[in-house]
């Protein structure tokens, strides 16, 4: 009998884990909005990230409420690019976007390379350096 009594608890535990993982805090629509937005003229953010990533990279999109934002409706979406250079070195590039659910606005907020944060003016030079490896 104890195995039967434990089974509903195990099922309930799995359901709760799925709800926490995928449920209430789902950011799929925020990620889709950022991917489809055009922060730079003529190219979607998804195309920009794919171009930066190149063939030897993987891309993971993450999202969470933006820290320090004036509203819970502002979501930070991060494209994490794990890139292997020709030299064999591995690099992590993070492009941080903000999505405002209230008006649909999307903005590129920052870029980091291997944990070092770059301002948007120096970003093209640093991307060029990364591609030269």
pLDDT tens, position by position, 34-55: 999 998 889 999 999 998 888 8
- pLDDT value, residue 61: 97
Name the least confident of 21-25, 44-48, 75-79: 21-25
- pLDDT value, residue 118: 75
What tokens does 51 get? 């171009």
pTM for this predicted structure? 0.71
DSSP code of 40?
A: B
Q: In which band, very low, low, confident or very high, does the pLDDT at 17 lie, cut at 50, 70 and 90? A: very low
Q: Are 127 and 54 in contact (CB under 8 A)?
A: no
Mean pLDDT (the chain, rounded): 80
**Of the candidates 117, 95, 97, 113, which has an alpha carbon nearest to the alpha carbon of residue 105?**
97
**Of the candidates 73, 68, 77, which has an alpha carbon nearest to the alpha carbon of residue 28?**
77
The DSSP annotation for 73-117 comes to TEEEEEEEEEEE-TTS-EEEEEEEEEEETTT--EEEEEEEETTEE
Q: Is the pLDDT of residue 6 over 50?
A: no
CA distance 11 to 3: 12
pLDDT tens, position by position, 86-127: 788 898 999 999 999 999 999 999 888 888 887 666 555 555
Count Cα neighbours of 115 within 13 Å in the Cβ-side half-sphere: 1
């Amino acid at each position: 009998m104890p195995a039967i009594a434990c089974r509903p608890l195990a099922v309930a535990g799995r359901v709760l884990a799925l709800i926490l993982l995928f449920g209430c805090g789902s950011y799929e629509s925020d990620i889709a909005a950022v991917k489809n937005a055009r922060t730079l003229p003529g190219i979607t953010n998804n195309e920009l990230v794919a171009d930066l990533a190149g063939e030897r990279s993987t891309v993971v999109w993450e999202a969470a409420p933006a820290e320090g934002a004036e509203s819970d409706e502002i979501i930070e979406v991060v494209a994490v690019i794990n890139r292997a250079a020709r030299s064999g070195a591995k690099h992590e590039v993070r492009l941080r976007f903000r999505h405002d659910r209230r008006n649909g606005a999307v903005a590129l907020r920052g870029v980091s390379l291997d944990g070092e944060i770059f301002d948007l003016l120096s970003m093209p030079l640093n991307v060029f350096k990364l591609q030269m490896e």
